[in-house]
Structure 1
């Protein structure tokens, strides 16, 4: 049996052979992936609902660092830039790679852009955008040279499964640890003594997240179609009715085009000089490195869950998927936002049965349509997505059973990868720790010869990156 088919949902009724539905089915190969138009559409809506928060969160973060001389509406411009860049990248993924992966400006890199690069290093925001733009161009070049596909293949099989499990823990942690001040669940909170602790049950947000988790769990175990999406909507509606979250202040609003941001990434290069060149080069390198391995980690983890990656470790059409990411990053910089990357929330749509680029097509179109309905999406509280993130996280942990737990040389690097991804809040950092530890532990076992040369080389690159980051920025 084909590796992909072995993990897919039960065969669904084939779509009509004639008409526009039949044309869509043939183009996206519904029959091959045992899916249909309804499943793919529902999966796309679910993915969008779990990651739609980026339309609000990304503008909030970047507005700390982008300062307009004109009196434009900065939030709206950033929201539109976020939506357009997400749509471009996701549509490229749909048509170029035929994968259900969605893309948007990455969380973490946007904070690094705002607080470390612009506010910390005092680099002009236009010049910082040029770093993202150049990084995207380099990303394209690496894809053309096949380097990035070989990087995916070089990841040991145990680390592929561990990455999928680590992403599951990561997205669950994101959902549970969101601050109540920003609409999050607050089920996990910071604590000076124990680092983290259980949240405060007197917080309405926390209670709503728990209620939503129970509602969504009921939908899941009762095999309700679209359970994750209905869970989000039910939680939001309950919060609106009970007054925990404010009702939408409107349905429709004309978007403010990012006229003050458009093209600043290219124009920002004129600010490059001998005094800031080293910092500019260092920042470009950091953006490139994090984007490469965040993307590889996400494609690997979600690809394992969807059944795309077989025993040979290859992700079919990997270069096309990576090119979509590179195009998204480059276009995003031109429109005025930080690095665009593949989103771990894509696994929500995969869990709903999405297996083709039509799922990504739906997400991309919803990003464009949402620009006219930002008031509605602003009104969906962050805690409404907590149940979906937790349940999807639990489903992704199933990948951990494929790790050879009886071989400690496989177990230790895999465990470190899974453990570090959520606790460092970075797929790239977790993968780095796993990559470095894997060949070393294998060498201790007397099996260094079993480790491919490519794996040793990537481990060396990660070590060099940690040294560079520590010397340049004072931290890895």
Structure 2
């Protein structure tokens, strides 16, 4: 799971890309006559160079340098902004605007509605778990002991439990406010690779988010090419943990492989986690070790399979 998150972080771009496995077009090398591609490659080379020179904040400096190059060459344009653009938007149109009655007003569509809710719940839950484990291990915040306490403990007894609880509260509050999903993102790996290891990092991140309410329009000048280069470098820095997988053991290697490759290929942490669960359970059953699999693993695997089946029937 950890390695899949790292591979995914190196393939992220601004906006949603199409799912590779669901299309007839194979991924290929980009054309270097595209200005955006040239800018991204230039930014990548600059960031790697600063990283090799041990410059602190190399990733952030790489983003700034790429943006400045884009402005100087005309690839990036300064947005036309007015003073009102720097004022935070009103929450009035979205605050507590819940239509629960309308959600269940059509009984014949109840199954589809529940399927959508299930899909969102599974996606958010396992995206968050994957991000916490992947990024948290690299930061030294979580380790295998924390994973075991999460599985065997009761209530909110481990660091991972507390992290997931706070993430769930934030997601719920964000939904009531009508904002985009308030959760943990794989892009957090960029801050970890820059040295963020303690709670003080989160405090400053929160302060900068508060500041972002007023200066967010300035972020429009940062091109996707700059952030793409940064995330590729983050993937390079964090994929080292893939060596911890025992590739000579098929029981571990099969599930690990599908977890790692499905995340970037489908652009989804949840899909990678689902593949890992399914192949892990399948491997144990074939090996005659079905009793060694926790009942919760079977339940989650069935839910993942149901989610895929429902998606195929739509």
Using structure 1 for the length normalisation, give the TM-score. Answer: 0.58
Secondary structure (helix, strand or coil) at the match of 2:27 reads strand
Q: Which moved more, 1:255-264 or 1:416-425?
A: 255-264
Distance 1:311 1:369, change over 3 A: closer
1:399-445 deviation per Cα after TM superposition (whole angstroms, max 9, x unaligned): 11000011012111100110101111111111011101112113323
**Distance in 2 (alpha carbons) for counterparts of 1:247 and 1:365:** 25
Partner of 1:332: 174
**Distance in 1 (alpha carbons) for counterparts of 2:27 and 2:237:** 24
Secondary structure (helix, strand or coil) at the match of 1:372 reads helix
1:371-392 deviation per Cα after TM superposition (whole angstroms, max 9, x unaligned): 2112211111111111210011
Question: Which of 83, 97, 102 lines up with 1:271 in the alignment?
Answer: 102
**Distance in 2 (alpha carbons) for counterparts of 1:233 and 1:274:** 50
1:175-226 deviation per Cα after TM superposition (whole angstroms, max 9, x unaligned): 4xx58xx9x9xxxx99x86422211211111111111001000111111011
Does the CA-based 8 Å contact 1:209-1:386 persist in structure 2? yes
**Distance in 2 (alpha carbons) for counterparts of 1:280 and 1:272:** 8
Partner of 2:12: 174
**Distance in 1 (alpha carbons) for counterparts of 2:104 and 2:24:** 46
Partner of 2:92: 259
**Distance in 2 (alpha carbons) for counterparts of 1:400 and 1:299:** 16
Partner of 2:35: 204
Deviation at 1:333, TM superposition (A): 1.5
Does the CA-based 8 Å contact 1:251-1:376 persist in structure 2? no
* 1:377 counterpart = 2:219: yes
1:31-82 deviation per Cα after TM superposition (whole angstroms, max 9, x unaligned): xxxxxxxxxxxxxxxxxxxxxxxxxxxxxxxxxxxxxxxxxxxxxxxxxxxx
Deviation at 1:251, TM superposition (A): 8.7
Using structure 2 for the length normalisation, give the TM-score. Answer: 0.86
**Distance in 2 (alpha carbons) for counterparts of 1:437 and 1:387:** 33
Does the CA-based 8 Å contact 2:115-2:307 persist in structure 1? no
* 1:393 counterpart = 2:235: yes
Unpaired runs of 5+ residues, structure 2, are: 151-157
Deviation at 1:285, TM superposition (A): 2.3
Partner of 1:291: 124
How do residues 405-424 of structure 1 correspond to structure 2 at under 5 angstroms?
Answer: 405-424=247-266
Count of residues in Structure 1 that have an aligned counterpart in Structure 2: 298
**Distance in 1 (alpha carbons) for counterparts of 2:166 and 2:215:** 26
Give the alignment's Cα RMSD to 1 decimal: 2.5
Unpaired runs of 5+ residues, structure 1, are: 1-162
* 1:363 counterpart = 2:205: yes
Secondary structure (helix, strand or coil) at the match of 2:11 reads helix
